[in-house]
Amino acid sequence: MADGDGDYVYDEESGEWLSPDEAAAKAKGPEVVDAVGNILADGDAVTLVKDLKVKGAGQTLKRGTLIKSIRLTGDAQEIDCRHDGIKGLVLRAEFVKKRN
């Protein structure tokens, strides 16, 4: 299927024809937003907006804790990050705020 603006791409998952812009956005993955609506990206620094008990680590991350260099997981609600002494920490985006 062709259009004056470019070729459409068939998405087998949804069974729909997507414009080049829609196909690029879908390939990039879901948009991840923090607690106040800021869009997050790989490498961003975030702060916690509430105290969180970390399962398996036996500690609590306090509100205001800085988390540096996050990584997006492909899930619109989860981010992967590191914190001292905690390996494989995955946080829900609703509990963090992007640090400017």
User: Domain with 35 in it: what CATH number?
Assistant: 2.30.30.40
The whole-model pTM stands at: 0.69
For residue 2, the model assigns a pLDDT of: 45
- Split into its structural domains, the chain has a count of 2
CB 46 within 8 A of CB 34: yes
97 and 77 both lie in a single domain: yes
Domain that holds residue 97: 31-100
45 and 7 both lie in a single domain: no
For residue 16, the model assigns a pLDDT of: 87
50 and 99 both lie in a single domain: yes
14 and 57 both lie in a single domain: no
39 and 15 both lie in a single domain: no
For residue 7, the model assigns a pLDDT of: 85
The closest of 52, 72, 37 to 81, measured between CA atoms, is: 72
Low pLDDT (below 70) residues in the chain: 1-6, 25-26, 28-29
